[in-house]
Chain A
């Protein structure tokens, strides 16, 4: 059926859930999904061909871009490891990691360079943090006008309980020398072609040492799947996933600003409100992408959901504050003229998804259009208008769903 691979139990459940979500789309096959990308292409295969992964939306095989089918986000605020999205820049990804020989270097502007095994890492004080990992370009496929790049719908994100060590404790083992300005992280993956820029990212030294940035070796109670960065990855709570380097094997403390490609030339956003510019606009300042912004989603209804006339409609979803917690989630059924507060679920931490629920009433006929808006604890709310920038980054417009009365 799916590439001749046996469907594990979770793959079957994922496949069945995906089937339920797309049965309404006329002519859809059971192993494909239709994304709502104006201008297309909208069809994607659902694949179970990737190790340790259940049914995933296939954006690209190599290097892998795997999107989480959106119904997974209705199953709970934590994204199961085998449905967690996958995004790699370069195709030379180790298929085998041997803990007997794996070492992570800590070098550069330090007193004692280190070569740490995972046993060394496990011996450091253990910390836990729930945090959303979201691709900088999540939702890029929804931008209008469209932008080249990974054509994600909204599923290039996931929430996990990360267990590991503070980056600060790892840095302290090497002893950061005064004059350090940044810390740069490199993983085991490599470009196919010599001379192409190896993927590495850096954080300012104070950020790196803030006690929240961590190196995680477990997500949701298990070691990291290979494709999510085994044996350990960087966790930068509240910041976009580009910084969450996978398979971290090299930590370099810098005493001059990082001018490597992936910091200086890539992942730049307009330094404007909402990182918003007009298509074709030039001459605006840019800065490296950084903090996330609030978002909220409907997870129990889609445009295919039918509601009964004049009936109560239970709505449910997830919200995130971005770089801080969720203060409120509000729902509107009159196009944003008035809003009512949703009930928030358990607080799993400032950087975690938060569930929200709300009941609204369907009209007697026509369409029920619902909007959901998150306001975070810094009083920043999602905008009613979508932003635009040439990278397709940082989308966080208020989401809406049109439900047909039938």
Chain B
């Protein structure tokens, strides 16, 4: 009898917390989380027309990538290269020759305006060309 009452209470509680209008009565432990669809910093404005509603969004994008392996030239590479892209870009490359890495670094500087001191380029290229490509 006791256990039946417990079951009945549980069923009643579940019914109360699940049915729409009753949801307002439930304690805060069951309140909805921040609207995951638009994000924690979403502005309020939305627009709607003919059945389509667009809602402003606000999220946080991850910024931290992997660490570059330690070794000679790691610091100057990190200092010059990680401002624009995380190290995964470097570490996912296949084995490139010194010449190919020189081409890539030159492109970063000349085309993409990476503010690299010309004097630092040889050390960076040496570091990149010396990276062991994971299997």
Q: Which residues of A contact B (CB under 8 A)?
A: 3, 8, 37, 39-44, 47, 49-52, 58-65, 90-91, 93, 95-101, 117-119, 122-123, 126, 146, 148, 151, 163, 191-197, 217-218, 223, 226-227, 230-231, 261, 265
Residues of A within 8 A of B92 (CB): 41, 44, 59-60, 151
How far apart sit A3 and B103, CA to CA, in the bound complex (Å)? 35
Inter-chain CA distance A95–B42, complex, in Å, is 9
Q: A59-B88, A61-B86 given as contacts; is B114 within 8 A of A148 (CB)?
A: no
CB pair B65–A61 under 8 Å, yes or no, is: yes
Q: List 13 A-B contacts (CB under 8 A).
A: A8-B36, A51-B39, A62-B65, A65-B88, A96-B56, A99-B47, A100-B44, A100-B56, A146-B94, A148-B103, A193-B84, A197-B111, A261-B111
How distant is the Cα of A223 from the Cα of B53 in the complex, in angstroms? 8
B62 touching A61, Cβ below 8 Å: yes
Q: Which of B43, B59, B135 contacts A51 (CB 8 A)?
A: B59
Q: B55, A99: Cβ atoms under 8 Å?
A: yes
Q: Is the CB of A148 within 8 A of B95?
A: no
Residues of B close to A62: CB separation below 8 A: 61-63, 65, 85-86
Closest Cβ of chain A: how far from B78's Cβ, in Å? 14
Among candidates B54, B64, B84, residue contacting A91 with C-beta atoms closer than 8 Å: B84
**CB-CB < 8 A to B60: which residues of A?**
51, 95
B115 partner residues in chain A, CB cutoff 8 A: 193
Q: Is B118 an interface residue (CB 8 A)?
A: no
Q: How far is the CA of A8 from the CA of B37 in the complex (A)?
A: 12
Could you say which residues of chain A place their CB within 8 Å of the CB of B100? 148
Cα of A197 to Cα of B39 in the assembled complex, Å: 30
The residues of B with any CB-CB pair to A shorter than 8 Å are 36-37, 39, 41-50, 52, 54-65, 83-86, 88-89, 91-96, 100, 103-104, 111-115, 133-135
Question: Are the CB atoms of B64 and A61 closer together than 8 Å?
Answer: yes
Complex Cα distance, B12 from A249, in Å, reads: 52
B61 adjacent to A230 (CB under 8 Å) = no
Q: Can you add 17 more A-B contacts, CB < 8 Å, to A96-B56, A99-B56?
A: A50-B62, A59-B92, A60-B88, A61-B63, A95-B60, A97-B56, A97-B57, A97-B58, A122-B49, A122-B52, A148-B96, A148-B100, A193-B113, A196-B112, A230-B57, A231-B54, A265-B111
Q: In the complex, which residues of chain B have a beta carbon less than 8 angstroms from the beta carbon of A195?
A: 113
Q: Give the residues in chain B near A50, CB-CB below 8 Å.
A: 61-62
Tell me if B's interface is mostly helix, strand, loop or mixed: loop
Cβ–Cβ contact A226 & B39, under 8 A: yes
Most buried by B among A99, A163, A217, A231: A99
A96-B57, A148-B96, A230-B57 as given contacts; A119 in contact with B86, CB under 8 Å: no
7 closest A-B pairs by CB: A51-B59, A100-B45, A122-B49, A146-B94, A96-B58, A41-B134, A98-B43
A contact residues around B89 at 8 Å (CB): 60, 65
Q: How far is the CB of A396 from chain B (nearest CB, A)?
A: 21
Interface centre among B58, B59, B103 (most CB of A within 10 A): B59
The smallest beta-carbon distance between A179 and chain B, in angstroms, is 31
Cβ–Cβ < 8 Å partners of B134 in chain A: 40-43
Contact, CB under 8 Å: A64 / B45: no
User: How close is A166's CB to chain B, nearest CB, in angstroms?
Assistant: 16
Q: Which residues of B contact A64 (CB under 8 A)?
A: 61
Contacts of A122 in B (CB 8 A): 47-50, 52, 54
**B56 is contacted by which of A42, A98, A193 (Cβ under 8 Å)?**
A98
Bound Cα distance from A99 to B38, whole angstroms = 12
> Do B54 and A193 have beta carbons less than 8 Å apart?
no
- Nearest CB to that of B94 among chain A residues? A146
Chain A residues contacting B49 (CB-CB under 8 Å) are: 119, 122-123
| A312-B45 Cα distance, complex, nearest whole Å | 56
Q: Is there an interface contact between B52 and A99, defined as CB atoms closer than 8 Å?
A: no
B44, B111, B133: the one within 8 Å of A40 (CB): B133
Name the residue on A nearest B103 (C-beta).
Answer: A148
- Look across to chain A and name the residue whose beta carbon is closest to the beta carbon of B49: A122
**Pair B65/A192 contact, Cβ less than 8 Å:** no
Distance A195 CA – B109 CA, assembled complex (angstroms):
11
